[in-house]
Structure 1
Amino acid sequence: MKNTVTILMRVVLGVLFLAHGVSKLQMGLDNVAGWFDSIGLPGFLAYVVAGIELVGGIMLILGLLTRYVSVVLVIVLLGAVFTAKLSAGLLGNGQSAGYELDLTYILIALYLAVAGSSGLSLDRVLFRKSEQN
């Protein structure tokens, strides 16, 4: 049962990050870069974050390098909380989103960083990881 839940957490988190990356592409990365500039971040980070979300999401779905990808995603999420969302508060301020969802994603990614991919994953196939990780 634990392996099933871990697989579900990994795949769902991967789908969510993939969706966020696709969303940034649909908005136009130049627009996202402009928003990054407007909050005091270098615009090029929009491209970096979108790439991490797209590639990281796909890698989580596949269960490839799950622990490493999860750590990178935690870093991205902490960056989002401290640069864009903290001032809006936990639940947001009516004008921008809060960071409650980011905390949930962080906890799931931290769990995956510690637990690994478990069960159905490329990590297990390629690196012969046991389900006992």
Structure 2
Amino acid sequence: MLQDLNTRLNNPGLGALILRVTLGLLFLAHAWLKLVVFTPAGTAQFFQSIGLPGALAYLTIAAEILGGIALLTGFQVRLVALALIPLILGTIIFSHGANGFFFSNEGGGWEYPAVWAVALLVQALIGPGDAAITRD
């Protein structure tokens, strides 16, 4: 029975697809949050309040949208995943790192962005999986 389960679960292409789509949706959700809830101007103000240039907020929103779409469609997945890692590490360095490890801490700790960065690295290592528009 366990062997049968192992055989049915042995589908790395599907696993990579599920990870890729999840990451893409997360990036689009975070861009939507910055666009609709915080607004681009509000996001720029936040960036300035933590010592970053306000213009970087607009670049971050664009990276989240374009990166999210690329991951969803399976376009240049390895490159996109690697390119998005510094964005996520930046949230640890500039925003969440001082709040402690647990994301339930006030202001959100660095636990969630760290897992997100590792998931991006895993995606880069395993590739796009099934249903990708480019096979990188």
Instruction: Tell me which residue corresponds to 1:59.
Output: 70
- Distance in 1 between residues matched to 2:105 and 2:12, nearest whole Å: 38
| Structure 1: 4+ residue segments shifted above 4 A | none
Letter in 1 for 2:32: V
1:10 to 1, 20, 26: 20
Instruction: Tell me which residue corresponds to 1:41.
Output: 52
What SS class does the counterpart of residue 123 from structure 1 fall into? coil
**Cα distance change of structure 1 residues 93 and 115 upon mapping to structure 2, 3 Å threshold:** closer
Letter in 2 for 1:37: Q
CA drift at 1:13: 0.6
Summarize the alignment of residues 66-81 of structure 1 with structure 2, pairs less than 5 Å apart.
66-81=77-92
What SS class does the counterpart of residue 134 from structure 2 fall into? helix
What SS class does the counterpart of residue 110 from structure 1 fall into? helix
TM-score normalised by the chain length of structure 2? 0.87
- Kept in 1, the 8 Å contact 2:75–2:134? The answer is yes
**Cα distance change of structure 1 residues 92 and 8 upon mapping to structure 2, 3 Å threshold:** closer
Structure 1 spans left out of the alignment, 5+ residues = none
- Distance in 1 between residues matched to 2:129 and 2:103, nearest whole Å: 35
Instruction: Tell me which residue corresponds to 1:116.
Output: 127
> For the pair shown, which has the larger CA radius of gyration, 1 or 2?
2
CA drift at 1:15: 0.3
Aligned pair count? 125
TM-score normalised by the chain length of structure 1? 0.89
Summarize the alignment of residues 26-37 of structure 1 with structure 2, pairs less than 5 Å apart.
26=36, 27-37=38-48
* Overall identity of the aligned pairs, in %: 32
Structure 2 spans left out of the alignment, 5+ residues = 1-10
Measured against aligned partners, the alpha-carbon deviations of 1:54-102 in whole angstroms (never above 9, x if no partner) come to: 1100110000010111011111001110111110011157430011111
